[in-house]
Structure 1
Amino acid sequence: MQGKQLSRSDTLFMAACSGLVVANIYYCQPLLVLIAKDFNIPESRAGRIAWLTQTGYACGLLLLVPLGDIMERRKQILLCMVATTGSLALSAWSPTFGVLQVAAFLVGASSISAQLILPLAAHLAPDNRRGSVIGTIMGGIIVGILASRSVSGSLGAVFGWREIYYIAAGIAAVLLVLMRWRFPQSYPSFKGSYGQLMASILYYIRTQPALRQASFRNFMSFAALSSFWVTMVLFLSAPPFGYQSATIGLFGLAGAASALASPLVGKRSDGQGARMNIWIGLVMELLSFAAFYFTGSSLFLLVLGIILVDVGHQTIQISNQTIIYSILPEARNRFNTVFMTSTFIGGACGSAIGIGLWNIGHWPLFCAGTALMVLINVIVTATVSAKP
C-alpha cells in the first residue's frame, strides 16, 4: 500500500487482519462452560471473562486508539500486536481464575488493532468509496467474530479451552510479521501533546452532536447484542437443550448473514443512505428479541433471531461509522475512540446485564429486558437524533 490509494486487495487484506484480531475478544464466549468446569466455579461467575475482555477493549479504545492521531500508525499497530500475543499466552497459562481475569482484561485492552486499521482505511479510501471500504472491513470483522465463536467452541470441546488461547497467540504472532511487511507507514497531522490530544476528545464530544448521537446508538445496540451472545450460552447449555460448547459455538454461524450484508450496507451508507439504514437496523433488532422470547424449544426462531440481531447491529454500526468518518478527517482516530469506547462499554454493560437478568428470571426476563434496551434506542433516535 503506497501513497493514498486503497485497492481492492488492500481492502481485503485489511479486512482479514481486522477479523483475525477482533476474534481475540470473542474466543471466550463459547468456552465459558469449560472455563467454569476447569476452575470449579459457577458458569455465571465464569461469565466475568466475557465482560472483562470487553471492558479492557473499551479502556484500550479510550487510552490507546487516540494515539493514531499523534504517532506513526503502523508502529502503533505493531506494538499492540506484540502486547496481544503476550496477553493471549498469559490467558492460556493462567493457573488461577484470578490470573485469567487479569489476562482477559489485557487481551481486550491490547486487541485494538482493528480499530486502528479502520480509520487508516477510511483515510486512504476516496470519499465516494468510504462507506463501501468500511463495509468490507466490517464484513471481515464479522467473519472473525463468527469464526472465533464457532472454532473456539468446536476445538475447545476437543482440545480444551487453554489450547484455543495458545493457537490465538500463534495467529497474533504471524499477523505481527505480515502487518510489518504489508502495512504502509502513515503519519498524522496532529502536533500537540498527548494531554492536548485527550483534551481535544472532550472538545469534540461537546461540539459534535452527530458524534454523540452515533455513539449512543451504538452503545445501546451493542449492549443488546452482547447481552444476547453471553446469555445464549447459558440458555443453550440448560434444559431442554443441554448442549455442549462445541454445539453452542456452531450457532455463531447463523450470524454469517451479517458478514455478507456488511459490504451492501456500506454501499447504501454512501451519500444520504446511512440514516435510513439505522432505522432498518433498529426494527430488525426489535424483531429479533420477539423471536427470542417465543423461542421455547424451537431452534428455528432462535436462528432467525440470531440473523436479525446480527444484521441489525451491523447495519446500525456501519451507518454510524460512515457518518462520523465524514465529519473531520484529521480527527478520525479520536472520533473512533469516542465511538468504539462507547460501543464496548455498552457491550460490557450488556453482558453483565444479560447475566443478571438470566440469574433473576432466566430467558423470558432476559428477552424482555434486552428488548427494552432496543426500545430506548428507538425512542432516543426518534427524538434527540432528529435534532441538529
Structure 2
Amino acid sequence: MSSPSSTLGGSKHAIKLTQGLVALFAFSCGAIVANLYYAQPITELISPSLHMSAGSAGLIVSLTQIGYALGLFFIVPLGDLLENRKLMITTALVSIASLAAASLAHSPGWFLAISLLIGFSSVAVQILIPLAAHLAPDHARGRIVGTIMSGLLLGILLSRPLSSLVADHFGWRFVFAAAAVLMALVTTVLALTIPRRQPEHQATYFELIGSLLHLVRTMPVLRHRALYQGLVFASFSLFWTAVPIELTRHYGLSQSAIALFALVGAIGATSAPVAGRLADAGHSVRATLVALSAATLAYTPALVHPAFGVYGLVVTGIVLDFAAQMNMVLGQREIYALHAASRGRLNALYMTSIFVGGALGSALASPLYERGGWTLVAGAALVFPLIACVHYWFVGRPHAHGRT
C-alpha cells in the first residue's frame, strides 16, 4: 500500500536517493546504534573503576537497551507527526551530551542513569530508517533498506571490537568521549545533507501513541514479525553479552583478542542486502524459514562438543549475526509495505519489541553464566529462536508475505 503521507522537500519524487545518500544513511545508522553497545565488552573495566557490584555492572547493558525501547515507543512515533530532520537532530544532540557525561561519571548510580539516557537518545537511527523507506522507490525498497540495515548491524558488531581496542589502550572513559565526538560529526553532516520531511498526519501526541494499540490489533504481519525478531534478538544479545565473559574467564583472552573475535562476527552483516533482494523478489516466506532455522542451529557447536572452544564460538557468532540481520530486514520490508502513513509508528512497534527482547537477553547473560557456565547460556539462548521457528511454522507462514 502506498499513499502520499508527507512532504519531502516539496515532493517525494524531487529527492533522488543516490548511492551516496544511501551510504551516508548506512554509516550514520551504524555510528548512532553503536552507542548502545560500546559498554558491552568493557563492563569488567567500568565496574571496578566505579566500584560497582557484579549485579549493578550487569545492568549497564540492560538499562541502555531499556532506554532504547522507551525511546522507540515514546519518541519514534513522532516521526509520523513532526518534521523528521529536526526531530532526528534534537535527539542526536541529547545523545552527544549523554555520551560526554558518561565519560565523566564517577558514581555507579549516575553512570547507570546516563546509560538509560544513552539508549533513549540513540533512537535517532529509527527516524532515519523510515525516512529512507519513504524516499526509496517501491521496487527497490527492500534492497535499499537492507543496505542501510547492513550499516546498522555493522555498527552493532564493530562497536564491540572498537570499544575493546580503545579501552585496552586509552581506558574506558575515552571510548565514550570519542563516541561523543563522532556523534557530533555525524549530526553535523546529516543536518546539512538529509532532506526535510513534514508528515501530513494530523493528530495530538496522545492520539498518536493511542493509535499504536490499533496498529498492533489490526495488523497480524506486524505482530508476528515483532515476535520473531524480538525472540531472535534476545538470543543475539544473550550471546554477545555472555561471550566476553566466557572468553575472559575460560580462555583468558585480552580485550584486544576479544575485539578480534567480535570483528569476525561482522561477517554476518553481509546477509542484509541479500535479505532485501529476496524480499523484493517475493521470497520472504522461504527466507524467513532459513533465518529462523539458522538462528536455532547456531548454538550446535557449543551443545554438541564443548571442545570446539573458541572456534565453535566464532561459528555461532557468525551464523547468529547472519540470521538476526536477515530476519530483521525481512521483517522491516514487510511492515513498511503495510501502510505508508504509519511507517514511523510501525517501525517504533517493531523495534521496541526487538530491543525489549535484547534487554531480556542481556539481563539473563550474567546470572545464567554464573549458574551454569557457557553450556547453560547456549541452551537458554537456543530456546528463543526455537520458539520463533515453531510459531512461524504453525502460525505465521500465512501472514509472512501478506497485507492487512
TM-score range, shorter chain: over 0.9
1:138 aligned residue = 149
Between the aligned partners of 1:255 and 1:152, the Cα distance in structure 2 is 15
**Which whole-Å deviations, capped at 9, do the CAs of 1:242-297 have from their partners, x for residues lacking one?**
12222212211122222222112211111421221111111111221112333446
Between the aligned partners of 1:174 and 1:87, the Cα distance in structure 2 is 15
The SS at the match of 1:192 is: coil
1:289 aligned residue = 299
Q: Which stretch of the first structure deviates more once superposed, 278-287 or 295-304?
A: 295-304
Matched, 1:22 2:28: no
- Number of equivalent positions: 387
The SS at the match of 1:156 is: helix
Between the aligned partners of 1:298 and 1:205, the Cα distance in structure 2 is 43
Q: Which stretch of the first structure deviates more once superposed, 38-47 or 27-36?
A: 38-47
2:4 aligned residue = none
Name structure 2 gaps, 5 residues minimum: 1-7, 400-404
**Contact conserved, 2:85 with 2:195, CA < 8 A, in 1?**
yes
Q: Which stretch of the first structure deviates more once superposed, 102-111 or 137-146?
A: 137-146
Q: Which stretch of the first structure deviates more once superposed, 60-69 or 1-10?
A: 1-10
Matched, 1:355 2:366: yes
> What is the CA RMSD across the aligned residues, in angstroms?
1.4
**Which whole-Å deviations, capped at 9, do the CAs of 1:178-221 have from their partners, x for residues lacking one?**
11100110011211111111111111100000000000011101
Q: CA deviation at 1:338?
A: 0.5
Between the aligned partners of 1:268 and 1:125, the Cα distance in structure 2 is 17
The SS at the match of 1:190 is: coil
**Which whole-Å deviations, capped at 9, do the CAs of 1:45-71 have from their partners, x for residues lacking one?**
412111110010000000000000000
**Which stretches of structure 1, 4 residues or more, deviate above 6 A after TM superposition?**
none
Q: CA deviation at 1:387?
A: 4.3
Between the aligned partners of 1:9 and 1:303, the Cα distance in structure 2 is 33
Alignment of 1:120-139 (within 5 A): 120-139=131-150
2:354 aligned residue = 343
1:218 aligned residue = 229
The one-letter code of the counterpart of 2:209 is: M
Q: CA deviation at 1:110?
A: 0.1
Matched, 1:37 2:44: no
The one-letter code of the counterpart of 2:271 is: A
Q: Which stretch of the first structure deviates more once superposed, 153-162 or 44-53?
A: 44-53
Between the aligned partners of 1:19 and 1:143, the Cα distance in structure 2 is 6
**Contact conserved, 1:295 with 1:302, CA < 8 A, in 2?**
no
**Which whole-Å deviations, capped at 9, do the CAs of 1:288-346 have from their partners, x for residues lacking one?**
11123334462221111111000011111100100000110110000001000000000
Between the aligned partners of 2:345 and 2:242, the Cα distance in structure 1 is 32
Matched, 1:380 2:384: no
1:320 aligned residue = 331
Between the aligned partners of 2:18 and 2:309, the Cα distance in structure 1 is 45
**Contact conserved, 1:49 with 1:104, CA < 8 A, in 2?**
yes
Q: Which stretch of the first structure deviates more once superposed, 174-183 or 243-252?
A: 243-252
Between the aligned partners of 1:334 and 1:247, the Cα distance in structure 2 is 40
2:173 aligned residue = 162
Matched, 1:58 2:58: no
1:204 aligned residue = 215
Between the aligned partners of 2:381 and 2:268, the Cα distance in structure 1 is 20
**Which whole-Å deviations, capped at 9, do the CAs of 1:203-240 have from their partners, x for residues lacking one?**
1100000000000011101000000000111111112x
Q: Which stretch of the first structure deviates more once superposed, 300-309 or 3-12?
A: 3-12
1:88 aligned residue = 99
**Contact conserved, 1:55 with 1:108, CA < 8 A, in 2?**
yes
Matched, 1:257 2:258: no
